[in-house]
C-alpha cells in the first residue's frame, strides 16, 4: 500500500519512541468517544487509553459513559461524562466549554477523537485550544456535501486521519477527497490473552449454552456483524435453511438493535416462514464473547455493506475458529484467504451455502490444524501490543509536528 498511509515508524521504532525519553514526557491525551458501552469500538478506546497511561502519558476519556467506565477508572484512567454526540445547540455549547476548560487545566498535548460522529467536536476543540489532534475513522460514513465540507475543515486543521484498513484509506482519498499524506493506517489489535482457548472454561461454555438454549452437540454459526441492513443476515438464514440440517443453529448477536428495529422484525418473519423456530437465536447482547466464539463452529461476517474492520472476525481467529467473510470492504484484509477463512461474494447464497457446508463438516483433525493457522495469523499480524505501539508512534509523530489549527473555513455542525 502507499507509504503515506503508514505511520511514520515501525513497531520497533515505536518502542524506541518512549514518552519518558522525549520532550513529550507525561503529556496528556484527551480521548473523545461517543460512549463506553460494551462494544468493540469502546473496547478499543479503553485498551488504548490504558496503554497510554502505562507508557508514561496521561489519558482522560470524555464520553457519555457506559459499563466500561468502571474498568477504565480501576486502571487509573480518568473519565469525564459528556454526551458529545448531542445535536442540541445549548448542550453542544456547554460540552464545548467544558472540554476547553478541561484542556486548559490538564495541558493536553493531543486530542484523539474516536469516530466520524465526533469530527466536529474534535475540530472545535482543536481550534479553540490550539491543540494537535487525530481523527479515528473505523467505518465508512455517508459522503454528503456537508460531510465533505467538514472533512475539508478537518484536513485544513492539520489533523491526521487514522484508519484500520486499506479499504478505509482508499475511501477517504477517493470518495471524501482527503489527501493521502494526512492518512495513517494502523491495523487493529486483538487481546491474545483474553481471546485464548485455554482460558475459556467448561463452566463458561455451559452457562452460555444454557442462556441461549443451544444443545451442546449442535453446530453453531455465530454472526457478530452489527444488526444493520446490508450485513447479510437474510442471506445467511436462507443458506442455513438450504443446508437442511436440524443440528445447525444460528446465533445473531445484537437482536435489540435500536438503529434498525425493522430488520429484526424481517428476520423473525423469515425464521417463521422457514420453520426455523428454535434453530435461530437472537440475543440482545453477548455477555461473554470469548466463550461465544469458542462455542461457535464457524463465525460469519457476510453482506454487501462494507465495513472498515471486523473485530469479531479477528477475535474468532485468535481463538482458532474458522470464519467466513464476504469480499466487501475491509473484510478480506482481516483474514488470510484460503488458509484461515472462506471468502465469498457478497449476498451470494449458493457460495455461502457451499462454504458453510465445508465449514461444519470439517473433521477434528482439520479443525485442530486450522486453529493453529488462525492463531498464528492473528498473533503475527494483529496483536494488541503491536497496535498500541504503533498508536504511540503516531502520537509521537503528531505531537512533534507543528500544528496549524487556525485555518479558515470550519464547517458548521
Asked if residue 22 belongs to a domain, the reply is yes
Comparing 12 with 176, the larger pLDDT belongs to 176
Average pLDDT over residues 123-127: 95
pLDDT at residue 199 above 70? yes
Angle between helices 311-318 and 364-381 (to 10 degrees): 120
Average pLDDT of the chain to the nearest whole number: 88
Share of the chain residues as helix, strand and coil, in percent rounded to the nearest 5? 45, 15, 40
Name the grid cell of 156: 485544513
Alpha-carbon gap, residue 17 to 393, rounded angstroms: 7
d(CA 127, CA 121): 10
Q: Do 349 and 396 lie in a common domain?
A: no
- Report d(CA 270, CA 379) in Å as an integer: 39
pLDDT at 8: 53
Residue 24 pLDDT greater than 80, yes or no: no
Residue 413 lies in a domain: no
pLDDT level of residue 257 (50, 70, 90 thresholds) = low
> Is pLDDT of 404 > 60?
no
More confident residue, 400 or 167: 167
222 and 147, same structural domain?
no
Nearest to 324 by CA among 306, 351, 288: 351
Q: Please compute the mean of the pLDDT values over residues 153-178 and round it to a whole number.
A: 96
Residue 409 lies in a domain: no
- Kindly state whether residues 95 and 70 are assigned to the same domain: yes
Quick: pLDDT tens for 320-349.
Answer: 999 999 999 999 999 999 899 999 999 899
Domain residues for the domain of 60 are 3-189+384-400
Examine the domain organization and report whether 121 and 143 are in the same domain: yes
Confidence of residue 13 (pLDDT cuts 50, 70, 90): very low
Return all residues near 288 (Cβ < 8 A) that are at least 6 apart: 204, 207, 208
Same domain, 94 and 115: yes
Query: What's the burial of 100, exposed, middle or buried (CB within 10 Å: 0-12/13-18/19+)?
Result: middle
Residue 68 lies in a domain: yes
Within this chain, do residues 260 and 327 fall inside the same structural domain, yes or no?
Answer: yes
Q: Hey, is 223 helix, strand or coil?
A: strand
Same domain, 284 and 390: no
| CA pair distance 170, 331, nearest whole angstrom | 14
DSSP code at position 163 = E
Domain count, the chain: 2
Residues 165 and 61 in one domain: yes
Residue 411 lies in a domain: no
Note whether residue 257 is domain-resident.
yes
C-alpha distance from residue 374 to each of 338, 360, 367, 370, 377 (Å): 11, 17, 10, 6, 5
Signed CA dihedral, 383, 386, 388, 390: sign only? negative
Task: Say yes or no to pLDDT of 226 above 60.
Answer: yes
Cα separation, 149 vs 145, in Å, equals: 6
Rg (CA), the chain: 22
User: For residues 120 and 147, is the Cβ–Cβ distance under 8 A?
Assistant: no
Q: Which of 289, 308, 49, 28 is nearest to 167 (CA)?
A: 308
Task: Give yes or no: residues 56 and 19 share one domain.
Answer: yes
Residue 260 has pLDDT above 80, yes or no: no
Whether 405 is covered by a domain: the verdict is no
395 assigned to some structural domain = yes
Asked if residue 184 and residue 298 are part of one domain, the reply reads no
Do 352 and 223 share a domain, yes or no? yes
Using alpha carbons, select from 173, 239, 167, 186 the residue that is nearest to residue 47. 186
| CATH number of the domain to which 128 belongs | 3.40.50.2000
- Taking phi over 0 as left and psi of -120 to 50 as alpha, with beta for the rest, 158 belongs to left
What is the structure's pLDDT at 86?
Answer: 83
Instruction: Provide the whole-model pTM.
Output: 0.88
HSE (side-chain half, CA atoms, 13 Å) at 103: 24
Residues 181 and 202 in one domain: no
Which residues share a beta bridge with 114? 136
State the pLDDT at residue 228.
86
Amino acid at each position: 500500500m502507499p507509504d503515506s498511509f503508514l505511520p511514520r515508524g515501525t513497531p520497533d521504532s515505536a518502542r524506541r519512541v518512549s514518552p519518558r525519553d522525549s520532550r513529550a514526557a507525561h503529556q496528556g491525551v484527551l480521548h473523545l468517544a461517543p460512549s463506553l458501552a460494551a462494544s468493540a469500538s469502546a473496547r478499543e478506546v479503553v485498551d488504548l487509553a490504558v496503554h497510554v497511561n502505562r507508557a508514561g502519558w496521561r489519558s482522560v476519556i470524555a464520553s457519555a459513559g457506559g459499563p466500561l467506565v468502571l474498568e477504565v477508572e480501576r486502571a487509573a484512567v480518568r473519565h469525564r461524562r459528556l454526551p458529545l454526540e448531542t445535536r442540541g445547540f445549548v448542550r453542544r455549547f456547554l460540552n464545548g466549554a467544558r472540554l476547553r476548560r478541561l484542556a486548559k487545566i490538564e495541558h493536553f498535548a493531543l486530542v484523539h477523537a474516536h469516530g466520524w460522529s465526533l469530527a466536529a467536536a474534535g475540530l472545535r476543540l482543536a481550534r479553540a485550544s490550539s491543540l494537535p489532534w487525530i481523527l479515528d475513522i473505523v467505518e465508512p460514513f455517508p459522503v454528503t456535501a456537508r460531510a465533505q465540507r467538514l472533512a475539508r475543515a478537518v484536513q485544513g486543521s492539520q489533523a491526521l486521519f487514522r484508519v484500520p484498513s486499506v479499504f478505509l484509506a482508499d475511501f477517504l482519498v477517493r470518495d471524501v477527497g482527503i489527501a493521502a499524506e494526512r492518512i495513517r493506517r494502523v491495523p487493529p489489535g486483538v487481546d491474545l490473552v483474553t481471546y485464548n482457548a485455554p482460558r475459556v472454561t467448561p463452566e463458561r461454555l455451559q452457562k452460555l449454552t444454557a442462556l441461549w438454549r443451544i444443545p451442546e452437540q449442535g453446530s453453531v454459526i455465530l454472526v457478530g456483524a452489527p444488526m444493520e441492513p446490508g450485513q447479510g443476515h437474510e442471506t445467511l438464514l436462507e443458506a442455513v435453511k438450504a443446508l437442511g440440517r436440524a443440528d445447525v443453529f444460528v446465533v445473531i448477536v445484537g437482536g435489540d438493535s435500536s438503529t434498525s428495529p425493522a430488520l429484526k422484525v424481517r428476520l423473525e418473519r423469515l425464521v417463521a416462514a422457514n420453520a426455523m423456530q428454535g434453530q435461530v437465536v437472537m440475543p440482545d447482547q453477548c455477555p461473554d464473547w470469548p466463550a461465544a466464539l469458542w462455542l461457535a463452529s464457524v463465525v460469519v461476517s457476510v453482506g454487501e455493506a462494507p465495513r472498515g474492520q471486523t473485530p469479531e472476525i479477528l477475535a474468532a481467529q485468535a481463538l482458532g475458529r474458522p470464519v467466513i467473510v464476504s469480499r466487501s470492504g475491509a473484510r478480506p484484509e482481516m483474514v488470510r484467504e484460503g488458509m484461515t477463512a472462506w471468502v465469498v461474494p457478497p449476498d451470494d447464497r449458493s457460495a455461502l451455502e457451499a462454504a458453510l457446508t465445508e465449514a461444519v463438516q470439517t473433521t477434528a483433525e482439520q479443525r485442530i490444524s486450522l486453529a493453529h493457522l488462525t492463531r498464528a495469523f492473528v498473533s503475527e499480524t494483529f496483536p494488541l501490543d503491536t497496535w498500541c505501539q504503533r498508536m504511540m508512534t503516531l502520537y509521537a509523530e503528531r505531537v512533534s509536528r507543528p500544528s496549524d489549527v487556525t485555518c479558515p473555513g470550519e464547517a458548521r455542525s
